Each structure stands twice: as structure tokens, then as C-alpha cells.
Amino acid sequence: MKNFREKKIKIGNLQIDFPFFLAPMAGVTDYAYRVIAKEFGAGVVYSEFVSAHGIIRENEKTLNMIKFSEFERPIGIQIFGDTPEVMESAARLVFEKFNPDLIDINYGCPVPKVTKKGAGSAALKDLCLMEDISEAVVKAVPSIPVTVKMRAGWNLNNIVSTQAGINLEKVGIKAITLHPRTTVQMYKGSANWELIKELKENVTIPVIGNGDIKNIEDIEKMFSMTKCDGIMIGRAALGNPWFFAQIKKFLNDQDYDKISLEERLDICLKHLDLLVQTHGEKIGANNMKKHFSWYFKGFEEASSFRKKFVLANNYSEMKDILSKF
């Protein structure tokens, strides 16, 4: 296992010494959560996926989703859209206004409100369009790497990830993250890691595995089975940002303890404070409710506290509940 313990990867001109990525997740990976994940050692973090149409209209809410601090570097901004022209303009604007370390194209979102417009994983139904969009973005931002996060295909009868990967490398994409489920599967069933292995065998750029990583043992299995270059962690990081610190200790042959209830409470309070600072008291406190459920999932009496938290009307009530947990 020594080979993956010493993994370092290069994405374009970007050197990554700890190839464990926090997945872009809508409604989750905002500034507050990215900062916490970075403090626990995440190698690369991403923004929530951002609409290319909103970017080129310079919609204030959209642009606020892209803002980040220097502490968060290396950071990727993930964008989605349906035409090469819109995506090219959006990528250029993101680079000029924010200068992220990389731009990632979303070809993975399976949600109907995104796919029915031809964006997200709908691109998997038209590899020529996917290629055109990717090439346009690459040309728009020549000084930073452009990467892709995609699914395996639209359905089990149309698995296209390997061919798509070959095409994407040809037009200048510098790394591919593959979540080997189909659009139709959404988040059900199992991720087919064999497809990550197949993609890795057919491209020379870094391949980042994603899907069904729940613990340290899964990380070992994915590296061993697929020979991927890095791993992106999504749902396993919900309410669990210290997972990155545990991975790092594991790779260094150090013991890693389960995080205590007191530590969870401290992180939860910090998260709440960051959300309120970023979004204001009303929106920040409301956004924290789902995170609270994730942080304390499985703890005795957590359900009763979760109900109190959901019913809390403001920031001070939430802090009071946390103090009594």
C-alpha cells in the first residue's frame, strides 16, 4: 500500500500534495464548510456548482457563491451550462474576477431541473457537445487547468465515461473526476468502480475516483482496485470534515481517534458562526439546520435535539441548544 500513501499529483501546472478532494455539493460546500474542511486538511476544495448563465449576467447571488479566501487555495470553481459560448464567457469572467486555481465543468449533476436544460449530466447524451463545451472553456482560461466531473452515462445502456474521457483529454482537460453511476441511478445502487479503472487505463491525465467512499477502508480499496490518482469525498464528508485529518493520519501510519462529542460541538458552533458571518443571522442559522442533523447523526438522543434545532427561531436559540447537548 506504500505507493498510494505517497501519492502526489499534478493537474496542469497545479501540484497537489494531498490528493483528497472535497466534492462540490449544492447547498453544502459554501465558504463556511470549505474553510472547516481546509482546516482539517482537505487537499482541494470546490465551490458549489454555479450557473454559467448567472455568471455572465453577473447576478449578485451567483457571484457571491464564487467568492473565496486565500486560505482555501487550492480551490476549484465548478460551473455548469448548456452551450460552448455561454460556458466560455462564464469561465473567462470567473478567471478575471476571482482567479481560482482551476475551473471544473459539471457533467455529473443528475437533477432534472439541470438536465432538462441540457446541462450537468445531460451532456453525456451528446459527446460532441461535451467536447465543444470543454474545448471552449479550455481556450477561455489558458493559464489555469480545466477539469471535469462526470458520471458514467445517462443510463446503463449508454455507458460513455471511457470514450468521453479520451475525447476530453484530446481537447485539453487536465483531470477527470468520475462518479461511476448513471444519471438515471441518481444516488441509488452502487458505484461501479470498474469504470474508474477502465478510464484510468485509457487516459494519461489524472483520474479522481468518486462514489461510495464511506471510510478509510474504502479509500484503500478504491486505490487498490482502480489505480486512480486521487479520491473525491462527497457524502462521507457531510457532518464529518475531520475525515480528511483521519486520512492523513492513516497515510502517515498514525492512530486516528474517533472525534469526541465535545469536539463535534465545538466544530458545530464554529460552523454556525461562519454561516451567520457569511449569510447573515436568518439565512445562516437556517442553513445550519441540515448540517446539525449530519454532525450528530447516530448519537443517543440526537433526534430530540435535532427537532429542537429545526424549530429554533434564531441564532441565539441554536447556541443555547448546543450548550445543552
For residue 115, give the nearest of 165, 195, 212, 49 by alpha carbon.
49
Q: What is the amino acid identity at position 323?
A: S
- Take residue 264 and report the three cell numbers written for it: 463535534
Contacts of 31 (CB under 8 A, 6+ apart): 67, 68, 69, 72, 274, 278
Cα dihedral sign, 212-133-44-252: positive
Instruction: Provide the 3-class DSSP secondary structure of residue 195.
Output: helix
- Which residues sit opposite 105 in a β-bridge? 79, 148
User: Are the CB atoms for 233 and 213 separated by under 8 Å?
Assistant: yes
DSSP 8-state symbol, 82: S
Cα dihedral sign, 177-183-188-193: negative
For residue 149, give the nearest of 86, 202, 212, 78 by alpha carbon.
78
- Take residue 26 and report the three cell numbers written for it: 449544492
Spatial distance between the Cα atoms of 9 and 159, rounded to a whole number of angstroms: 27
Q: Among 109, 128, 228, 268, which one carries the catalytic annotation? A: 109
Instruction: Provide the 3-class DSSP secondary structure of residue 66.
Output: helix
User: Are the CB atoms for 72 and 40 separated by under 8 Å?
Assistant: no
- Which residues sit opposite 22 in a β-bridge? 233
Known catalytic residue: 128? Answer: no
Q: Say how many Å lie between the first and final Cα of the chain, rounded.
A: 41
Instruction: Provide the 3-class DSSP secondary structure of residue 266.
Output: helix
Q: Which residues are catalytic?
A: 109
